[in-house]
Amino acid sequence: MKICDSLNKQFESTLNNTLQQLKDEKESYNATVTICDIQNQVENLKSLPHDLPLYGVGIAVKDNISTENIRTTASSRILDNYVPIYDATVIKKLKQAGAVIVCKTSMDELGMGGTNLNAYTGRTFNPYDISKITGGSSGGSAAVVASGAVSVALGTDTGDSIRKPAHYCGLVGLKPTYGRISRYGVIPYASSLDHVGFFTTTVKDSAKMLEICAGYDAMDATSLQDDVEQFSVVEANVVGKKIAVLKNVQDNIEDTVLLDKFNSLVNYLKNKGAIVEEVAMDEVLLRALLPTYLIIANAEATANHANLDGIKFGVQESGDTLEQLMINTRTKGFSKQVRTRFLMGAYSLDSDNQERIFIKAKKVRRKIVDELFKILDKYDGILRLAAATTAPTPEEAVNQEELSSKYLISENSMLLENFSGCPSISVPIGFKEKLPFGIALMTRPKDEKTLFEISLEIENFSQLSGKIKEN
């Protein structure tokens, strides 16, 4: 069921089928952390108007978004027993629209990763091929939508954490403008980079979800005060729109199947009236994307998670002194990968290093964003392939962590949108050997309307709207 479909009067039966499918698929894909008891939600729903936009629609939620009385672990051992006493703002909005929260989904621990391999509950498997990864950190949300269990799932995106899994799992993945959706109640990774977004199977559904979830929130000082537009009424339109193809990314991709499909898309957009031109960014700045991201994100994460010490909440390990208790709790509570990131963050925030590492990284980020906006001053959007390959195996994903120029640019270009706060979307355009792949499109900040107009035309090109595992 697509979320824009007419009201399903048998919503209870549909929701129960959803829960059963999630339970059946838990062993196959390991995408869920908690499958919810929905009885109270369903009873509350019966007293609400039946014409609500999400009435009876089951929605999956990434496990770093607070849900009242539902365990929220961020896929970390240290939060294994954490049950929030309140809903995040985005959850409140979904419930007010008639949605039912059916499960909490697996993720890279605390959002720190791009593979969904380091979750406390184990790796998540790609529904298209269980030997492949889903990508991360929102991989569990991607998997439950790609499997067909739900039609929409919430994710968060700190550095392509929605859009890369969408590319690997054949989905539409939206990261809106920074501040468009409140982050109140979201367990943070890096506050200046974090965004809440969605996985759907159609661009229209993504637009509808944004319309429902966007809006100012006094509990989030970074949330935008702009009026929420009717994004769901937007239609495909590229006539006269200037679209830049990011040449640096395309030149660092070697897969001819992906490149040929992308070039066919470019020709299609031109025939539909778009002006599509290649542009290049400063290569040095693009190679600096990943190291700059790692410095800033890990520094902010170190500060954000200093409260995870076993004292106020979460799993607590014993110790002879308060200091030893905290050391034991954090040592056993976090994976080696997360502890390593905290060490990186602490090192860059140390008073002896802050100016030459953390402050310098923020200056480099500003240079990158300034260079990006020079392009967006002239173009309505920037287009490129979302990644250089289809979903890799875990071994291939680990081996990708080499810092070659090709890897640094082709696999990390979507960090541009996190650095700048620009809205961005991943849309599937084809398959290679039964594995999906997609494009990444960004527009200027607050211009989701143009983002959807172009994306809908891309969807017309691909003819993949709403399709799940059919190829």
Residue 162 reports pLDDT greater than 70: yes
pLDDT for residue 401: 52
pLDDT, mean over the chain: 95
pLDDT for residue 136: 96
pLDDT for residue 466: 75
Phi then psi for residue 87, to 5 deg, are: -90, 140
Residue 285 reports pLDDT greater than 70: yes
pLDDT, average across residues 14-22: 94
From the candidates 66, 75, 141, 161, give the one annotated as an active-site residue.
Answer: 161
pLDDT for residue 57: 96
Separation between Cα atoms, residue 134 and residue 392, nearest integer Å:
9
Separation between Cα atoms, residue 136 and residue 108, nearest integer Å:
6
% of the chain with per-residue pLDDT over 90: 92
pLDDT for residue 78: 98
* Residue 109 DSSP label: G
Separation between Cα atoms, residue 415 and residue 161, nearest integer Å:
10
pLDDT for residue 70: 98
| Sequence-distant (≥ 6) Cβ neighbours of residue 399 within 8 angstroms | none
Residue 123 reports pLDDT greater than 60: yes
Residue 471 reports pLDDT greater than 80: no
pLDDT of 378-427, one tens digit each?
999 999 999 999 999 999 987 765 667 788 999 999 999 999 999 999 99
| Inter-residue contact 100 to 58 (CB < 8 Å) | yes
| Inter-residue contact 391 to 435 (CB < 8 Å) | yes
From the candidates 75, 76, 137, 232, give the one annotated as an active-site residue.
Answer: 137
* Tokens 């991709």 found at: 253
In angstroms, what CA-CA distances link 61 with 51, 141, 143, 148, 243? Answer: 23, 7, 12, 15, 33
Separation between Cα atoms, residue 293 and residue 434, nearest integer Å:
32
pLDDT for residue 7: 45
Q: What pTM, to 2 d.p., does this model score?
A: 0.96
Does the annotation count 62 as an active-site position? yes
H helices present in 334-447, as ranges: 336-349, 360-376, 394-399, 405-410, 415-420
Separation between Cα atoms, residue 259 and residue 439, nearest integer Å:
11
Angle between helices 11-29 and 139-146 (to 10 degrees): 120
pLDDT of 251-270, one tens digit each?
999 999 999 999 999 999 99
Structural domain spans, the chain: 11-237
Residue 219 reports pLDDT greater than 70: yes
Does the annotation count 432 as an active-site position? no
**What is the bridge-based pairing of β-strands 435-443 and 424-432?**
antiparallel
Sheet with 172-175: strands ordered across:
32-35, 100-105, 58-62, 152-157, 195-200, 172-175, 424-432, 435-443, 381-385, 242-246, 275-279
Residue 2 reports pLDDT greater than 80: no
Instruction: Look up the CATH superfamily of 11-237.
Output: Amidase signature (AS) domain (3.90.1300.10)
Separation between Cα atoms, residue 197 and residue 206, nearest integer Å:
9
Given pLDDT bands bounded at 50, 70 and 90, which one contains residue 6? Answer: very low
pLDDT for residue 218: 98
| Inter-residue contact 254 to 388 (CB < 8 Å) | yes
pLDDT of 269-280, one tens digit each?
999 999 999 999
pLDDT for residue 1: 41
pLDDT of 287-324, one tens digit each?
999 999 999 999 999 999 999 999 999 999 999 999 99
pLDDT for residue 238: 98
Neighbours of 41 (CB within 10 A): 17
Residue 49 reports pLDDT greater than 70: yes
> Which tokens in the block code for residue 335?
């994976």
pLDDT of 437-456, one tens digit each?
999 999 999 999 999 999 99
**Looking at 192-331, which runs of residues are DSSP E strands?**
195-200, 242-246, 275-279
Strand partners, 425: 174, 441
Residue 332 reports pLDDT greater than 60: yes
**Looking at 150-308, which runs of residues are DSSP E strands?**
152-157, 172-175, 195-200, 242-246, 275-279
Does the annotation count 138 as an active-site position? no
Separation between Cα atoms, residue 461 and residue 269, nearest integer Å:
8
Angle between helices 256-271 and 448-462 (to 10 degrees): 110
pLDDT, average across residues 138-158: 97
CA nearest 429: which of 239, 269, 275? 269
